Structure 1
């Protein structure tokens, strides 16, 4: 890297009559608190396992930030995780350093245009980056050695330099045609069809169960089979709680809560999928209850008093779609995402488009 972003730590190590001892101690005592947020954690484990034994170079993974002087960020940092990264860094004593490994930590990786990705360099001062998806154990060891040289010499240097070449010269291309960058495939899709209809399947118990549920519900909803071990109930927002109360006699927990965004029709479809741990014959059966609500006034009754397991899922759907589950005390708070992010899974949520740049002489 060309610029020292953590100059205070280096200045401390190179000041005073004890500077040689301070540099020697810091160089061979890089205790790393590691923030494992993605798959790069596997590569870090490989680096410190018996095969590579990175501890030989004076680096040791440690779990308490107040006894460490190095952060190794492994993977993507979300905007909500950014707070944890900053707090961890602030609790570490000086001198302290940061290494970011993996494409997700550098530019967001495959999540580059996500609604919820933050760059570690915007949160803490980063000393070295390790490119790759995933980076190799050798690359992490190389970064640790580079950091040790920075501690010793007082300046950061890149560990690899590449000569600039023209591709046409390498490939011996005589004529180079002008190329235009591709454009993002932005298309206005026609109104999609969302069809949830009965299916003919070979499931005798399912037919018996549909008859039993239809009798119990007494016209509160339309009950039909959509697949083996899959039953669907269409009802309304006003009848939804009563349907749930009846089903709770046999089905004791919520597997998932889902929202289908029908932007062209200005409505949401709310789905609760329930199952049973207590009734053996129903353990493999999933029953989905659905109802529609207007998209511009997305309020729906919470079912946490019937199925407490719905709480987590309702919080998610509030974060992602803005559906307000009346009766859930968490409404109005952010559960999974940062406060400034609003309804990222709505189909009208704008995400950044890729920018393509033609390569040329620098």
Structure 2
């Protein structure tokens, strides 16, 4: 018997403790994904989970149960542990969904942690998504364990075995077929593919950007409606960014790194736009450059667009690109301290699929 249940079954007040705990389970819900919708469904008017003596609550220090809804990452694991430790005894954990059980579609992600590795889990509601009935079944199973002291499965599937008559040939075991795998040559990665149709004012914008950048813009391409890509060399990148800022592109939308291992390079992209200049407000200008994958050093643009700071920190974590001039380089920012280095590089080894044959 686990120590939480044992506590309820000891002492002269044991019947009162069991009765009070059984009908006052107040779970705090740790929502990380879409299972939160199913929890809401279970406690809405249709299923009315409160009729079972279970009431959702928002503060960890006044609850005695956690419902983990979805995937737990390395950074979220700390929040789960802190929440569990803040709860008074006796306390219990229920995990919803296949993401919480085994990672779900993120099963081989570099950042996944199974909840049972962080806190003791009592019951699981499997499925993607799990049904409201399965969650309420977990609460009923927990209440029965509080009452009796014995954990029991709520569903037991019978094992059916075919009797094989003597003299008859046994069937070969059926195996899950592996996915088809094809070997193909790596294509060239082109991020500024021309798409000029459907944007009447595009050529005027290109002409204006050409005038602003002069020889700094090696190639300017219309890649879609209100989208322009500008090729700039690494050495001229900061100067070109300053010229775009002076022209009215006053902020950065995003920063991106594309890993191209078969060409030995990273493609670095900064997407700029404008809040204040009406001419450029709908426009997205992507500045593009390439750097050596084995020496991924690139000039930081935080002195031009301060909003690039956060984004550069993320890409330093995920790809290992060193943004020269950004004071955060050399430290982890987005990822937990024990996360593997540069997990979004394409040479990062992911866990392989495992296929199990069955009869």
Normalised by the length of structure 1, the TM-score is 0.92
For 1:237 and 1:275, the matched residues in 2 are separated by 20
Unaligned residue ranges in structure 2 (runs of 5+): none
Residue of structure 1 equivalent to 2:58 = 63
Residue of structure 2 equivalent to 1:346 = 345
Question: The residue matched to 1:191 in structure 2 has which SS?
Answer: coil
Stretch moving more, 70-79 or 179-188? 179-188
Q: Does residue 240 of the first structure (1) align with residue 240 of the second (2)?
A: no
RMSD of the TM alignment (CA)? Answer: 2.0
Residue of structure 1 equivalent to 2:127 = 132
Q: Does residue 165 of the first structure (1) align with residue 164 of the second (2)?
A: no
Equivalent in 200, 205, 225 of residue 228 of structure 1: 225
Residue of structure 1 equivalent to 2:208 = 212
Question: The residue matched to 2:216 in structure 1 has which SS?
Answer: coil
Q: Does residue 46 of the first structure (1) align with residue 36 of the second (2)?
A: no
| CA offset digits 1:175-197 (Å, max 9, x no partner) | 73444443465665423212234
Equivalent in 309, 313, 316 of residue 314 of structure 2: 316
Indicate conservation of the 8 Å contact 2:72/2:112, yes or no. Answer: yes
Aligned pair in 2 of structure 1 residues 68, 56: CA closer, same or farther (>3 Å)? same
For 2:179 and 2:294, the matched residues in 1 are separated by 29
Equivalent in 280, 286, 289 of residue 288 of structure 1: 286
Stretch moving more, 305-314 or 9-18? 305-314
For 1:55 and 1:329, the matched residues in 2 are separated by 52
Indicate conservation of the 8 Å contact 1:129/1:143, yes or no. Answer: yes
| CA offset digits 1:27-84 (Å, max 9, x no partner) | 1111111100000001111111222221111111111111111000000101111111
Stretch moving more, 180-189 or 115-124? 180-189
Equivalent in 129, 136, 141 of residue 146 of structure 1: 141
For 1:298 and 1:193, the matched residues in 2 are separated by 20
Runs of 4+ in 1 over 4 A off after TM superposition: 166-169, 184-189
Stretch moving more, 180-189 or 157-166? 180-189
Indicate conservation of the 8 Å contact 2:174/2:358, yes or no. Answer: no
How far did residue 311 of structure 1 move?
2.2
Question: The residue matched to 1:304 in structure 2 has which SS?
Answer: coil
Aligned pair in 2 of structure 1 residues 358, 202: CA closer, same or farther (>3 Å)? closer
Q: Does residue 24 of the first structure (1) align with residue 19 of the second (2)?
A: yes
How far did residue 19 of structure 1 move?
0.9
Aligned pair in 2 of structure 1 residues 202, 17: CA closer, same or farther (>3 Å)? closer
Residue of structure 2 equivalent to 1:203 = 199
For 1:236 and 1:168, the matched residues in 2 are separated by 73
For 1:21 and 1:291, the matched residues in 2 are separated by 70
How far did residue 122 of structure 1 move?
0.6
Residue of structure 2 equivalent to 1:123 = 118
Q: Does residue 359 of the first structure (1) align with residue 358 of the second (2)?
A: yes
| CA offset digits 1:306-347 (Å, max 9, x no partner) | 212222221221121111212223323333322232111111
Stretch moving more, 279-288 or 234-243? 279-288
Indicate conservation of the 8 Å contact 1:168/1:176, yes or no. Answer: no
How far did residue 260 of structure 1 move?
1.2
Indicate conservation of the 8 Å contact 2:175/2:356, yes or no. Answer: no
Residue of structure 2 equivalent to 1:254 = 252
For 2:15 and 2:173, the matched residues in 1 are separated by 57
Residue of structure 2 equivalent to 1:156 = 151
Matched positions, count: 351
Stretch moving more, 274-283 or 348-357? 274-283
